Amino acid sequence: MNRTIHICILSLCILSVLFLAGCTPDSKTGGPASWIDKPHNGSSFDMQNIQVIAHSNDPNGLAQVEISVNGQVVDTQPASGTFAQISTSWTPAKAGNYAVRVRGQNAAGAWGEYAEANIQVGVETPTTIPSDTPTPTTTATPTLTATLTTPTITPTPAKAGALSFKINVSTKQFY
C-alpha cells in the first residue's frame, strides 16, 4: 500500500516537471526580435530610392541593428535601450528581385534572427488589354403577322327616299 502511494507521488512529480518544462518560452537564438515595417513583403517598386524602416527589441538591451540587401550589409546603426528603430534609404543597382533583411544584436553580443521582406524593383507588370465584348449567341427577331378582316356592309332600312349603310370593321392589336 505504501509502495503504491510512493509510486503515484513520484509519477505526479515527474509529470509536473515535464508539464512545467513545456511552459518555458522558446528561445531559438537568445537574440533580439526584429521586424520590417517598410517595405512590405511582396511589394513592387520603380527604379528609385527605397526607404527601409525596421525595429528590434531585446529585454536585455540592444547594441546595434543591421539592414542588408541580398546578403550585403547596407546600414548598421548603434542602438541603446531595449527597443530601437532603424530607418535608411537604399538605391538598387538594377531591376530585379531583392531580399531586404534586418536583425539586431543585443548587449551580450548575440544576434537575433533575420526579418525578411522580398521585393521587386523595376519589373514591369504586363498590361492587360481588354478583349472584345462577346457577341450574343441568340438574337430575338420580332415578327408581325397582320390579319385583315373584310368589312361587312349591312344595309339598314331608312326613310323613304334615303339610303343608309352600316359598316363594321374589326381590328386586332399586336404587341
Residue 101, domain CATH: 2.60.40.10
What are the tens digits of pLDDT across the range 72-125?
999 999 999 999 999 999 999 999 999 999 999 999 999 999 999 999 998 665
140 belongs to a structural domain: no
pLDDT grade for 167, boundaries at 50, 70 and 90: low
DSSP secondary structure letters along 49-90: -EEEEEEEE-TT-EEEEEEEETTEEEEEEE--SSEEEEEEEE
pLDDT grade for 24, boundaries at 50, 70 and 90: very low
- 115: β partners: 102
150 belongs to a structural domain: no
Quote the CA–CA distance of 17 and 21 in Å, as a whole number. 6
Q: How many domains does the chain have?
A: 1
136: pLDDT strictly greater than 70? no
Domain residues for the domain of 79 are: 28-121
68 belongs to a structural domain: yes
Percent of the chain with pLDDT over 70: 58
In Å, the largest CA–CA distance within the chain is 146
61 belongs to a structural domain: yes
11 belongs to a structural domain: no
Quote the CA–CA distance of 94 and 91 in Å, as a whole number. 9
157 belongs to a structural domain: no
158 belongs to a structural domain: no
Mean pLDDT of 42-55: 94
pLDDT at position 151, please?
65
Q: Which of the 8 DSSP states describes residue 129?
A: P
161 belongs to a structural domain: no
